[in-house]
A = this chain, B = another copy of it.
Amino acid sequence: MSIADTANNNPYEDDFPTQKAILGMDMPMRLDCGAELSNFSIAYETYGTLNADKSNAILVTHALTGDQFVAGVNPVTGKAGWWSIMVGPGKPIDTDRYFVICTNVLGGCMGTSGPAAVNPETNEPWGVDFPVITIGDMVRAQALLLDEMGIETLFSVVGGSMGGMQALEWAAAYPERVFSCVPIATAATHSAQNIAFYEVGRQAIMADPDWCDGHYLKAGKKPRSGVSVARMAAHITYMSEAALTQKFGRRLQDREKVTFGFEADFQIESYLRHQGNSFVERFDANSYLYVTRAMDYFDLATTHGSGRLADVFKGTEIRFCVVSFSSDWHYLPEESRVIVRGLTGAGANVSYVDVVSDKGHDAFLLEEPAFERVMRGFLEDAARKRGLIDE
């Protein structure tokens, strides 16, 4: 039985239609942890048309809980893709002009191999026997997929949050394969505060008895409460204090007075509970552990250099556009400025925009006209330089 046959046993996948490549068949992929992965799946979607010289490909990299359905309609949810504001015909990432690829990250749970997939050696779900992966591993797998597609160089790699980490990793690991790079609302390394928040989530999941020491799928269980609490804790960090106040304040949920109890009296409580409960349905608990761990381990300057970002990117010819959002406290604008200083120190071609927004970290996923203008302008300019648009 090959991975391709068994992959549909992944309960988070449910036979939804997505493209899938089986990689590491001739030669296993070496992971940063030292393990090797062979015959693994990368689920992906493409939008637009690859041009004749294969020079118009944009890899969009997704965040922690994102997926490959970046534009159009997500066949699982029936809703718009997670970045359809930004990606589509006539949009800033214009699928009339660019060929957009988005892969579900290694360790994810939307068709790509991860802890919820079946281990071909045991024919049972990997669970926590799946090797721990890094942002570097995610990107290495994406590079193998591009090899399969015959795409040598990306016109751009674009991503927000953990997607921004992948974009930076691409620029560091494959400088010759990247023409331009747009790291958004991200950091070159995970801060203590972010490690802390994700550690709370992991502890919540691992404390849930239904986690079954990581083998809940085998046991036919699901650590629902743990995942829900993890999601609630993380979700708070995605919004600014101002946005929470504006959106919810102290407004009560379907009642005129507090109940003097522990039900969801306040709208913010029922909103968070809903976020937690609905997340359980669409995301694998172990994937949450693996993908947050990959973020914790991300430290670009240490992995690729002497500890200095400027050394990592020395002599790079990639065109960078770094974007932060003023009210983002998950990945602070200062963390983007650290990237910009490193790039500048490396003599790189770098633009930086701190978009004034009160929407917090989530701003990169929401309607922010200034951000859209920056994306469109930067990509159009790069497209001219790349010969995709007549100068």
Cβ of A36 to closest chain B Cβ, rounded Å: 13
- CA distance in complex: A32, B192 (Å): 41
Which of A3-11, A77-85, A159-167, A195-203 is found at the contact surface with chain B? Answer: A195-203
- CA distance in complex: A65, B236 (Å): 22
Residue among A200, A265, A272 with most chain B CB within 10 A: A200
- CA distance in complex: A262, B226 (Å): 15
Interface size class of A (residues with CB under 8 A): 35 or more
Given A204-B204, A260-B132, A289-B262: A192 touches B268 (CB 8 Å cut-off): yes
In the complex, the answer to whether A195 meets B241 with C-beta atoms within 8 Å is: no
Q: Which residues of B have CB within 8 Å of A308? A: none
Given A236-B197, A289-B262: A229 touches B241 (CB 8 Å cut-off): no
Cβ of A384 to closest chain B Cβ, rounded Å: 39
Q: Which residues of B have CB within 8 Å of A34? A: 260
Q: Mark out the residues of chain A between 229 and 285 whose CB falls within 8 Å of any chain B CB in the assembled complex.
A: 229, 232-233, 236, 241, 244-245, 247-250, 258, 260-262, 264-266, 268-269, 272-273, 276
Given A132-B260, A241-B193: A232 touches B199 (CB 8 Å cut-off): yes
Which of A88-96, A205-213, A344-352 is found at the contact surface with chain B? Answer: A205-213
Q: Which residues of B have CB within 8 Å of A264? A: 199
Kindly report which residue of chain B lies nearest to residue A261, judged by CB atoms. Answer: B132
- CA distance in complex: A49, B349 (Å): 70
In the complex, the answer to whether A241 meets B332 with C-beta atoms within 8 Å is: yes
Cβ of A276 to closest chain B Cβ, rounded Å: 7
Cβ of A238 to closest chain B Cβ, rounded Å: 11
Given A260-B131, A272-B196: A229 touches B250 (CB 8 Å cut-off): no
Kindly report which residue of chain B lies nearest to residue A247, judged by CB atoms. Answer: B192
Kindly report which residue of chain B lies nearest to residue A296, judged by CB atoms. Answer: B266
Is A54 positioned at the interface, with any CB of B under 8 Å from its CB? no
Cβ of A133 to closest chain B Cβ, rounded Å: 9
- CA distance in complex: A219, B207 (Å): 20
Q: Which residues of B have CB within 8 Å of A296? A: 265-266
Given A192-B250, A260-B132, A299-B250: A229 touches B244 (CB 8 Å cut-off): no
